[in-house]
Structure 1
């Protein structure tokens, strides 16, 4: 079996224009291209991010499934962490663009973290590493 060569992140939004505005303003991503009226590719992170416009109440797994999209705040075991070099500035930029700060900046051994919800109910974190990043947890400094 071939190993994957790239990870593409797909984020459902209820409005493509609002999604583009939020992710470009809040995180400094840039619109690379539109792939139709309901799909936009954003670049600037280590993986491309595809915004996919899907109306609230539509079925993500086909009409035979009971589950429906909802853009109210929700939790999923998968979330995105975006690393930044200045978390205080990044937090201010994200909130100004419409993110909800759910967990204020907190210091950890490896750096600093803040938790958010985007305008579409998806959770994400901002991380600012210090020193050796996560290695600060595993190994004492040399």
Structure 2
């Protein structure tokens, strides 16, 4: 199975800039008449999709896209080598910190949101990472 990650943004240029500066991803190409940006640099490609605020996410949806901070049960975790440096880089690029680093048996984690309201976690592994979890 192949996994693709799609992230809606209301400003494609701003999205490209954020994910390049905050996470070190690189724009590989634009697709679909320049409305989609393929970002590479992780283990899975991330596609930024230009979707205007107020547009409907599906033809059957009554809700509208809103790029203020929103909670969703799905979010992205980015494994980083140095948590503090990753946080600083993301904040400089426009992220907001939501929870400062917390320590766990498997490592450290901080939660942030991108400029489009999507939740992100940064994880710095300790030892075997999740392999150290026994239950």
User: Normalising TM by the smaller chain, what interval?
Assistant: over 0.9
Gaps of 5+ in 1: none
TM value normalised by structure 2: 0.96
Which of residues 110, 129, 132 is equivalent to 2:125?
129
Which residue number in structure 1 is paired with residue 73 of structure 2? Answer: 77
Q: Deviations over 1:2-53 (max 9, x none)?
A: xx2x100000000000000000000000000011221100000110000000
RMSD of the TM alignment (CA)?
Answer: 1.0
3-state DSSP class of the match of 1:40?
strand
User: How many residue pairs are counted as aligned between the two chains?
Assistant: 134
Which of residues 12, 16, 20 is equivalent to 2:12?
16
Indicate yes or no: 2:3 matched with 1:7: yes
TM value normalised by structure 1: 0.91
Gaps of 5+ in 2: none
CA distance in 1, matches of 2:68, 2:7: 14
CA distance in 2, matches of 1:135, 1:82: 17
Larger radius of gyration: 1
